[in-house]
Amino acid sequence: MAPARTPLSLYVHWPYCSFLCRFCAFSKARVPAGGVDHALITRALLAELRTSLAPHSRDKELRSIYFGGGTPSLAQPAHVAQIIEQASRLVPLAASAEITLESNPTSAETDKMAAFKAAGITRYSIGIQTLDDGVLQRVGRLHSGAEALAAANRAASLFPGHVSLDMMFGFESQTVDQWQRELETVLAHANGHLSLYQLTVEPGTPLFRDIRAQRVKRNPDDTLALMYETAVALCRSRGLAHYEVSNYAASPESQSVHNIGYWQGRQWIGIGPSAHSRFIDPASGTCLRTVRIPDIQRWVRSCLEHGHGTAKSETVDDAEARQEAVVFGLRMLDGLSNARFMRTGCVSSGALSLAEYLRVNQVQRYLRDGYLRSSGRLDHLAPTERGLQVIDSILLDILP
């Protein structure tokens, strides 16, 4: 029997958007005036895919593929199919592999949904953000709430049990009541999965500048906390379990395999401009973190010339890997098992247990106060609902 293959995820970054949201801090660009040169981008993606996946073909299997962006629903389904097909030829796809595509709910993109399914997409994620047409317009999104719900319905019929809807809360002047009503509507259209994000003001975004210039007001922290608590309670009452800070699923099968990979420290390869990767280099055995060139034109040129557009590659040492394992593991209500922690990514020095690594007296205090829970002598560590809500503060205390 062949030895078990190590799971691997693939992230594909499609860099273009038809509109730019004022809060977005991701790497993206507006579709150029003459339209996107789909063939060129695909050629570059395929070249990078080949270079990056080939070294992993012998001992890995693909658990998930994720098309993110940007707005990958602007891509042509045929090209998406080509990428999936090429990837699976390089590294075998696991039987139940999850292949997600992110989309915006404009009617044009909704029309392509069936074609994407035919191309191999198994899970569909729709960025609704809000149903309030006024807010949608103010943040720069060119679709309506009604279009979003129509897209959600269409996705539910094509990808039953495998649809994710993205929502945001904390927009200027939004009240807790408004948020609750909006969420109720969305819950009625949900099919398996919800991602509910607090609006985050990232430096460098137009929203950030608006707030700095006091053109836009920020919601008070306590209001945001209340909105978050409302979301947790409401989802639970509708049978959607909270499993990560901002993610809710109807059943374990509806959870995002790809994203759980990030939180559990699975290796992943990212292709496309500005995409990150984190994997154990088969040649050297060290853990690497790489970033691709962010500028689209330069990235394309580099891919076509050198077969990849890697801008930066650095090793992740054990200390970093362990820190990441805890920081990301504790974002999930399931938490982090000691067994998984001891296997952490790239341990090249001896294995360390959670009890040896963390500041135990601090952990115990949080256990006692009901912020964390554990089984055995830290065989497993997880945040409680209450703890998850302030996990960033807790981490500062428990990490060495």
Partner 1 sequence: MEWKGSGNNDLEAAVSMGIEKFILSPFVNFVPQPFASYIVQAHGFASTIAKTVMDTLCMNNYTGGFIDTNYMVPLPASKDTVFMYPSPQIAKGMLKACRLFQKQKGLQKRRKRPGRKTPASRMRRAWKHPLVGCALPCSQRYKTRQSMATACGYLRKASMKSGGYATKADGLGAEIDITGYTPDRIRNFSIIAHIDHGKSTLADRLLETTGVITKSGKNKQVLDKLKVERERGITVKAQSASMFCEHDGRKYLVNLIDTPGHVDFSYEVSRSLAACQGTILLVDAAQGIQAQTVANFYLAFGEGLAVIPMLNKVDLPTAEPDRAALQIESAFEIDAANIVHLSAKTGLGIDRVLPSVIERIPAPSGSIDAPFKALLFDTWYDKYVGVVCLMAIKDGAVRRGDRVVSMHSGTRYEVMEVGIMHPEQRPATQLQVGQVGYVVCNMKSVAEAHVGDTFHKDKFPVVPLPGFAPAKSMVFAGVFPLDAGEFDKLNESIQKLTLNDSSVAVHKETSAALGQGWRLGFLGTLHMDVFRQRLEEEYDASVLVTAPTVPYRVQYKDGTSKYIQTPADFPTAIEIQDKVDAVMEPFVLATLIFPEQYLGAMLELCTMHRGDIHTHTYLDESRVMLKCRMPTAEMVTDFYDQLKSRSQGFASFDYEDNGYNESDLVKMEVLLNGEAVDALAAVMHRDNVATVGRTMAKRLKDVIRRQLFDIIIQTAANGKVVARETVKQLRKNVTAKCYGGDISRKMKLLNKQKEGKKRMKKIGRVELPQEAFLSVMTGSKE
- Which of 189, 194, 298, 300 lies closest to 242, judged by CA? 194
Select the residue interacting with partner 1 from 93, 156, 245, 372 (CB under 8 A): 245
Confirm if 40 and 300 have CB atoms less than 8 A apart. Answer: yes
- Which of 123, 179, 189, 112 lies closest to 153, judged by CA? 189
389 lies in the site for partner 1, by CB under 8 A:
yes
197 lies in the site for partner 1, by CB under 8 A:
yes
Q: Nearest approach, Cβ of 167 to partner 1 (angstroms)?
A: 12
Select the residue interacting with partner 1 from 65, 84, 194, 394 (CB under 8 A): 394
Select the residue interacting with partner 1 from 63, 278, 308, 322 (CB under 8 A): 278
102 lies in the site for partner 1, by CB under 8 A:
no
Nearer to partner 1, 16 or 268 (CB): 268
Locate tokens 């302030």: which residue? 390
324 lies in the site for partner 1, by CB under 8 A:
yes
Any bridge partners for residue 165, and if so which?
Answer: 126, 194
In this structure, are strands 16-17 and 29-30 parallel, antiparallel, or unpaired?
Answer: parallel
Give the containing element (helix H, strand E) for 198.
Answer: strand 192-198
Q: Nearest approach, Cβ of 391 to partner 1 (angstroms)?
A: 5
- Cis link prior to 70 (omega < 30° from 0)? yes
Following DSSP, what letter does each residue of 241-310 receive, concatenated? Answer: EEEETTEEESSGGGS-HHHHHHHTT-EEEEESTT-EEEEE-TTT--EEEEEE-SSHHHHHHHHHHHS--E
Select the residue interacting with partner 1 from 275, 287, 300, 346 (CB under 8 A): 275
393 lies in the site for partner 1, by CB under 8 A:
yes
Query: How far apart, in whole angstroms, are the C-alpha atoms of residue 289 and residue 287?
Result: 7
Any bridge partners for residue 40, and if so which?
Answer: none
208 lies in the site for partner 1, by CB under 8 A:
no
200 lies in the site for partner 1, by CB under 8 A:
yes
Give the containing element (helix H, strand E) for 7.
Answer: strand 6-14
Q: Nearest approach, Cβ of 79 to partner 1 (angstroms)?
A: 22
Nearer to partner 1, 238 or 276 (CB): 276
Helix axes 176-189, 221-237, angle to 10 degrees: 30
268 lies in the site for partner 1, by CB under 8 A:
yes
225 lies in the site for partner 1, by CB under 8 A:
yes
388 lies in the site for partner 1, by CB under 8 A:
yes
Binding span for partner 1 by CB under 8 A among 38-46, 85-93, 156-164, 191-199 = 191-199
95 lies in the site for partner 1, by CB under 8 A:
no
Query: How far apart, in whole angstroms, are the C-alpha atoms of residue 63 and residue 99?
Result: 9
Q: Nearest approach, Cβ of 118 to partner 1 (angstroms)?
A: 27
Nearer to partner 1, 215 or 359 (CB): 359
11 lies in the site for partner 1, by CB under 8 A:
yes
Select the residue interacting with partner 1 from 111, 184, 379, 392 (CB under 8 A): 392
Q: Nearest approach, Cβ of 1 to partner 1 (angstroms)?
A: 32
Burial of 64 (0-12, 13-18, 19+ CB in 10 A): buried
Following DSSP, what letter does each residue of 308-335 receive, concatenated? Answer: --EEEEEEPPHHHHHHHHHHHHTTBTT-
Nearer to partner 1, 146 or 390 (CB): 390
List contacts with partner 1 (CB under 8 A).
11, 26-27, 197-200, 221-222, 224-226, 228, 245-246, 259, 262-263, 268, 270, 274-278, 289, 320, 323-324, 327-328, 331, 369, 371, 388-396, 399
